[in-house]
Amino acid sequence: MIQAPAPPDDVGVQLAALADPTRRRIFELIAHAPSTVRAVTDRVPVSQPAVSQHLKVLREAGLAVGTARGASTVYRADRAGLASIRTWLDRFWDDVLDGFVAAAEREDDR
């Protein structure tokens, strides 16, 4: 397995990796179905070396994992990287819900 995980608390690295539209599309493809570089290249408008570079960035951000299969490497989304982004986003959602509850309670007190 080929992986260089992102630092555990550095969601910024993961968000930056997903900021590029082509890289985000590549991530969506490997999240949908594990794929080789060749298979991804057939579905995006960039060269095979560019796809390889995008996958390297995703691996380094902890968002993708590559597993050697014969002469190819099959890439898939890394659930651990997704979990850290989700945890970060959930924190904001919890804050929004807490604010909503507080506002509703204030309205009830009126």
Rounded to 10°, the helix 11-19/48-60 angle is 160
Per-residue confidence in pLDDT tens, the chain, 110 aa: 655 444 445 799 999 999 999 999 999 999 999 999 999 999 999 999 999 999 999 999 999 999 999 999 999 999 888 898 888 888 887 777 888 888 888 877 77
pTM over 0.85: no
- Do the beta carbons of residue 31 and residue 77 sit within 8 Å? yes
Q: What does the alpha-carbon distance between residue 27 and residue 18 come to, in Å, rounded to a whole number?
A: 8
- Do the beta carbons of residue 78 and residue 3 sit within 8 Å? yes
